[in-house]
Structure 1
């Protein structure tokens, strides 16, 4: 299903939004992230899927591959550590703490009694746990009933204390907030709520690194965008807001069109567009796309999304699984890519949209379209990935290595 945003604007980036997210703060965050040894040095790949573009009848399909950003396996490695660094600097303003020193654990004695907490579907909690271990503070992660044991173990491996609840993601968010208030802990969440915006803003700001790299890898810093359309995963809206805001400020009125993709049973952003306010999903929320199984839009993210996203799209779980398999196979000679359930959602949305000629025309998808997709995660739950694709992540990476050794002309 596709819903056009009736409130979208093509004006230059408004000053009131620049006070929330801006390129300058994103670049500062990017500089800090270069100091963290949990991230790979250099930019992540921007793969060109020429065969996919030909099959789909568009000019270009490119995939920014965040699965290899770090051993954490997802784009969340850019958000949680920045939010934690900024929180610590706010708590101890007189100390003039440097990000590089914090990431190296040089202020462990200062931070050893600090406890941070967050709810998660998996990736954000893993990134926060890793960042907390680097800095030397304590970390508590609240997991809801549908987070797999495999993802729990990956988080616990970084020393986090795990608390399980029987409810869904939104209930785990509420549980984390209650525990923080009771124990004087600090919530480091990627979703905002009434009275809680600073940290979600910082999380979103970290995601700007992705766009900065895309611009460097394509236009070389020119004002004209390399892509006509960008497909962004939904969830609570943080990734979409973080990326769209950077593109919007950088390219102004010429920025690409944006389509936000989310599971049909976790349609909180589409419902927000329909109701003209940050809203809740209408479905069960449960989805194979675990990272997008969110029931309520982030009000802070919605401030960015409401005026800038061109369309909101829902997809079925089977669409995501098919896209995972497509990327894993290196279909028709393209590079094989390890994309997790949520990571493949952008391609799933594109494929589904192009099957509906009327909807494609509504959003301007035609033979001249140049499309950017974001692979937000790799095989963060390896057994789930293998079950859904029929191959292991290691096998796909072997295919990728072979492809790169013998590139197709």
Structure 2
């Protein structure tokens, strides 16, 4: 089985989507054991080829530095042996997860004698449009393969060399398995036109999943004729309630902001109860400033911490993915929830409180894919939820929501058995 990576042409998207479409039926018929063997070969190959992947990644980083790419974006692109080992471990975790394909969801019999079973089946061919993180290439390929789906990947130009080498390695591994290598396709054309073409590829793509910033996701949602599972930008909040334990609140907020600020589940806005702020905001601000985080605050925040910049109206609706943090002082829980309703993206929200009633209200009333009490929003992740890797974090309400693991990449089929029944 040979790799289908090729030089970009005007019809590259159609050619590769066609190859994926042709491979999908064969992939959907494979056993769990056959798919798991392929995943193991892929994981081992990534580790064995770490040096060549890092070499390709270095070219992406060099081009990014020459083009003035931000440090946070370069961090999203960067690969090293530890990160590649972590990506491979994600594939091995997927091996250990139950294969959802063929699962019986329900069965029942009708008075006329028909016996009806509802089972999980692959979606078919999934198109993934994403930006800088090359780990998405492996996560998407592994999850799609396990669920019997072919995948057409279109990553951002910032990680083009990394993604190309990764897919070459995956194809070489699949050549030693029963999985058709054509089930994994990578679009190399970096032009916007290749994305636009994917959006209209009805008949070849069964579903599109965008992963990236707000503008990319909205472009896909608004312009695609192929069905879309919407993943969302992450304007995530942490609310320090009046009864919050200071050390816990500071640790949670610090982790949510600086552990890896370039990802969608990092915190962009810290909401602070006014009484907590009067007692602790100065220390909180000093702590973040020592970590090189730029602070932008509401009028009250600036009054309490004069070194802080005054936030603009646009700041509350900005996903920074950087060492920048908004701080707003609120009168209480109601104002915190209202702020999240106005400015959140229904991704991940957190309350830090010792008040059980406030915690219960926050968990019930805040509309988001993941809502936390006394824990960092950084846990909104397929790996952390025990899903192995993830295909994305859905912020919509149809089909799937939150970190999307294996079941989210399936559809259903009804199997109806009879004994000659006809409808009168």
- TM-score computed with the length of structure 2 as normaliser: 0.31
Please state which structure has a larger fraction of its residues in strand: 2
- TM-score computed with the length of structure 1 as normaliser: 0.32
